[in-house]
């Protein structure tokens, strides 16, 4: 494996692994996900999960893209590239759930939560308050 690819993967491993976790959670059949009590439907806690997982994804991926020494173009445009990847991943996961995963439904509202999570992750990274 070329040295540049190894370096790129080294600096981006956490973002890639988190993205793989998102895909894994997305394709779990509905019966594998515990049901929440009916009163929780009013609060829709699943939207908080969307915000969290996509916020963490964007934070980790921007950090990885900026840290990697292989591609100056990716390093310079890390936030924009990562947000585009996050939005694409958010759309793809909702489409997977809508058309291919039994007992799961894709939702425009879930996609909106994914997108807001991406922006939150970017904002947290930009604020510099969290160092990993």
pTM (two decimals): 0.82
pLDDT tens per residue across all 132 residues of the chain: 688 999 999 999 999 999 999 999 888 776 666 665 555 444 567 888 999 999 999 999 999 999 999 999 999 999 999 999 999 999 999 999 999 988 888 899 999 999 999 999 999 999 987 776
φ and ψ of 33, to 5 deg:
-100, 125
What is the total count of domains within the chain? Answer: 1
pLDDT digits (tens, 9 = 90+) for 38-48: 554 445 678 88
Structural domain range at position 106: 3-28+46-127
Give pLDDT, residue 33: 62
**Is 119 domain-assigned?**
yes
Asked if residue 34 belongs to a domain, the reply is no
Note whether residue 36 is domain-resident: no
Q: Is 22:53 a contact under the CB 8 Å cutoff?
A: yes
Task: Report if residue 33 sits inside a domain.
Answer: no
């Amino acid at each position: 494996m070329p040295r540049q690819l190894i370096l790129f993967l080294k600096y981006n491993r956490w973002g890639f692994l988190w993205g793989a976790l998102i895909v894994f959670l997305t394709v779990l059949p509905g019966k594998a996900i515990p049901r929440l009590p009916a009163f929780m439907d009013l609060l829709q806690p699943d939207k908080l999960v969307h915000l969290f997982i996509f916020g963490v994804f964007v934070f980790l991926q921007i950090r990885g893209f900026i840290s990697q020494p292989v591609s100056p173009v990716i390093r310079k445009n890390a936030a924009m590239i990562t947000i585009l990847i996050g939005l694409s991943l958010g759309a793809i996961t909702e489409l997977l759930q809508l058309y291919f995963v039994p007992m799961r439904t894709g939702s425009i509202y879930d996609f909106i939560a994914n997108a807001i999570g991406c922006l939150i992750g970017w904002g947290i990274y930009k604020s510099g308050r969290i160092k990993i």
